[in-house]
Amino acid sequence: MLGFIRFLIRRIIGGIVVLWIVDSLTFFLFFSRPVILVARELAGRTATPQVLQEVVRNLGLNQPIMVQYWRFFDRLIHFWRSDALGESFFSQESVKTLLAQDLPITASVVVGGVVLWLIVGLGVGIISATRPRSLFDRLSTVGVLAGLSMPVFVLGELLILLVFLPLNENGVTWIATGYVGLSQGIVPWLGHMILPWITLATVQAAIYTRLSRGSLLDTLGEDYIRTARAKGLSERRVIYRHGVRAALTPVVSQLGVDIGALLGGVIVVEEVFSLPGLGAQSVTAIDNGDLPVIIGFVLVAAAFVVIANIIVDAAYALLDPRVRIS
């Protein structure tokens, strides 16, 4: 237990260092440019020199870059303050407030999608591995190829065309687009989330089906599995007690990698299903050149990836105790 705690502390410290590096690189990427370029993005290409100078002065862009960096980093350290991420250049609203409004929507899509693709992907993969070359295995292979070949936005539009519209035309309004919060009831919330979850999970479920199938097939061929069978253990215990646990380690590792790529897919899903989450907010900020909001989105995305990978590393260490001392 003590070894696991030390392992977890090392991962948390490493995550904090990664967040600091990402924060610093993001700041210098946007604010190390000539201030007049930043001001022109905000004021418009037709702004007069007097207007540009006024923008530079109001935003503090005329101060030395390290002074601006310290102010930026000082706000981040005091993350509980409302101005921890600054204010939007356009709406003058706190970036922290804007992100706090949108984060529950994106979190709903992400968490539900991950749970769905793990249940489907691991379930189909394990059944396929225990029944190789069966009809189910062959059908799942076709399903994997179909899932891997389907772009996220195409699948989302197909679900709207083939599921959402026909159901609504026949009076079934439970499944809907847009977003309602849990405060309005879990059933309406599920109805608005089910199609985005299916869209986000389909491609990933196909990947995890193939990965878990191959990993479990390799594990079932190991010597200790044959030894367990020779001792007279039931096939169910051999597979689920010994085989599946060992086969999950590469799956867990892949989950940590996929979390980073997940945000790109979430942006597309939010646009398709009219979900006003972080994706829609980030697209608007990029169109407007709203640097504080863009930076806030990058920092939240980085924190999301770091926290997810710490959780994945902890799960990996629990599955494989050798990781704790490596």
Nearest to 114 by CA among 311, 298, 323, 297: 311
Residue 41 to residue 44: CA distance in whole angstroms? 6
One-letter amino acid of 90: F
Q: Which residue(s) pair with 87 in the sheet?
A: 94
Residue 326 pLDDT grade (very low, low, confident, very high; cuts 50, 70, 90): low
Distances (CA, A) of 297 to 15, 267, 302: 18, 12, 9
Span 195-219, average pLDDT: 87
User: pLDDT at position 325, please?
Assistant: 52
The residue whose two tokens read 């959780």 is: 311
Q: State both tokens at 303.
A: 């924190």
Span 277-291, average pLDDT: 79
Q: Say if residue 324's pLDDT is above 60.
A: no
Residue 246 pLDDT grade (very low, low, confident, very high; cuts 50, 70, 90): confident
Q: Say if residue 323's pLDDT is above 60.
A: no
Higher pLDDT, 63 or 46: 63
Higher pLDDT, 18 or 53: 18
User: pLDDT at position 202, please?
Assistant: 86
User: pLDDT at position 261, please?
Assistant: 66
User: pLDDT at position 78, please?
Assistant: 77
Span 156-184, average pLDDT: 85
Residue 47 pLDDT grade (very low, low, confident, very high; cuts 50, 70, 90): low
pTM: 0.79
Span 16-28, average pLDDT: 86
Span 103-132, average pLDDT: 88
pLDDT per residue as tens digits for the range 57-92:
777 777 788 888 888 888 878 777 777 777 777 777
Residue 224 to residue 244: CA distance in whole angstroms? 13
14-23, 48-57, 76-85, 240-249: which has the highest mean pLDDT? 14-23
Residue 185 to residue 156: CA distance in whole angstroms? 24
Residue 148 pLDDT grade (very low, low, confident, very high; cuts 50, 70, 90): confident
* Pair 265, 200: CB distance under 8 Å: yes
What's 163's DSSP letter? I
Q: What are phi and psi of 87, to 5 degrees?
A: -120, 150
User: pLDDT at position 41, please?
Assistant: 66
Span 297-310, average pLDDT: 82
Q: State both tokens at 214.
A: 């191959």
